[in-house]
Amino acid sequence: MQKRIFLRSTALAALSLVAALAHADNNTFKIGLILPMTGPFASTGKQIEAAARLYMAQNGDTVAGKKVELIVKDDTSAPDVTKRIAQELVVNDKVNVLAGFGLTPLALATAPIATQSKTPLVVMAAATSSITQASPYIVRTSFTLPQAAVGIADWAPRNGIKKVVTLVSDYGPGIDAEKYFKDRFLFNGGQVIETLRVPMRNPDFAPFLQKVRDLKPDAMFVFVPSGAGAALMKQFAERGMDKAGIKLIGTGDVTDDDILNSMGDVALGVVTSHHYSASHNSPLNKKFVEAFQKANNGLRPNFMAVGGYDGMRVIYEAAKATKGGSGDALLEAMKGQIFESPRGPMFIDAQTRDVVHNIYIRKVEKVGGQLYNQEFDTIKDVKDPGKTK
Nearer to ligand DHB, 223 or 288 (CB): 223
**Min dist. Cβ of residue 48 to ligand DHB (A):** 11
Per-position DSSP letters for 332-379, written without gaps between them = HHHTT-EEEETTEEEEE-TTT--EEEEEEEEEEEEETTEEEEEEEEEE
- In the shown chain, the binding pattern of residues 210 to 229 toward ligand DHB, with x for contact by CB under 6 A and - for none, equals ---------------xx---
Indicate whether 111 belongs to the interface with ligand DHB (CB under 6 A): no
Residue 44 within binding range of ligand DHB, rule CB under 6 A: yes
**Closer residue to ligand DHB (CB): 103 or 319:** 103
Contact flag: residue 157 with ligand DHB (CB under 6 A):
no
Q: How far apart are CA 381 and CA 387, in angstroms?
A: 14
CA–CA dist 328, 331 (Å, integer): 5
Q: Residue 354, exposed/middle/buried by CB under 10 A (0-12, 13-18, 19+)?
A: buried
Shortest CB 100 distance to ligand DHB, Å: 12
Task: Give the nearer residue to ligand DHB in terms of CB position, either 190 or 225.
Answer: 225
Q: Check binding of 104 to ligand DHB (CB under 6 A).
A: yes
Answer for the pair 279, 373: CB distance below 8 angstroms, yes or no: yes
User: Does the footprint of ligand DHB cover residue 230 (CB under 6 A)?
Assistant: no
The backbone torsions φ and ψ at residue 232, rounded to the nearest 5 degrees and listed phi first, read -65, -45
Among the listed ranges 122-130, 182-190, 257-265, 275-283, the one in contact with ligand DHB (CB under 6 A) is: 122-130
Q: Is 307 a binder of ligand DHB (CB under 6 A)?
A: no
Return the ∠ at Cα 225 (arms to 312 and 43), rounded to 5°: 55
Give the distance from CA 172 to its chain's centroid: 12
Between CA 239 and CA 234 the distance in angstroms is 9
By CB under 6 A, residue 127 contacts ligand DHB? yes
Question: Within positions 159 to 188, which residues make up the interface with ligand DHB, using CB under 6 A?
Answer: 172-173
**Closer residue to ligand DHB, CB minimum distance, 36 or 190:** 36
108 forms part of the interface with ligand DHB (CB under 6 A): no
If one asks whether residue 141 binds ligand DHB (CB under 6 A), the answer comes out as no
- Return the half-sphere exposure (C-beta side, CA atoms, 13 A cut-off) of residue 290: 7
DSSP SS3 for 302: coil
The residue number whose beta carbon is nearest to ligand DHB equals 225
Report d(CA 297, CA 264) in Å as an integer: 21
**Of the residues 82, 117, 128, 166, which one makes contact with ligand DHB according to CB under 6 A:** 128
Check residue 97 for interaction with ligand DHB (CB under 6 A).
Answer: no
By the rule CB under 6 A, 134 interacts with ligand DHB: no
- Count the residues of the shown chain that bind ligand DHB, applying the rule CB under 6 A: 12
Q: What 3-state class would DSSP assign to 30?
A: strand
Helix (H) or strand (E) holding 16: helix 2-22
x/- letters, 232..271, toward ligand DHB (CB under 6 A) = ---------------------x------------------
124 binds ligand DHB (CB under 6 A): no
CA distance 352 to 130: 10
Work out how close the CB of 348 gets to ligand DHB at its nearest, in angstroms, rounded to a whole number.
18
273 is a site residue for ligand DHB (CB under 6 A): no
Give the DSSP per-residue string, 32-73: EEEE--SSTTHHHHHHHHHHHHHHHHHH-SEETTEEEEEEEE
Q: If binding is defined by CB under 6 A, does position 103 make contact with ligand DHB?
A: yes
**Residues forming the site for ligand DHB (CB under 6 A):** 44, 103-104, 125-128, 172-173, 225-226, 253
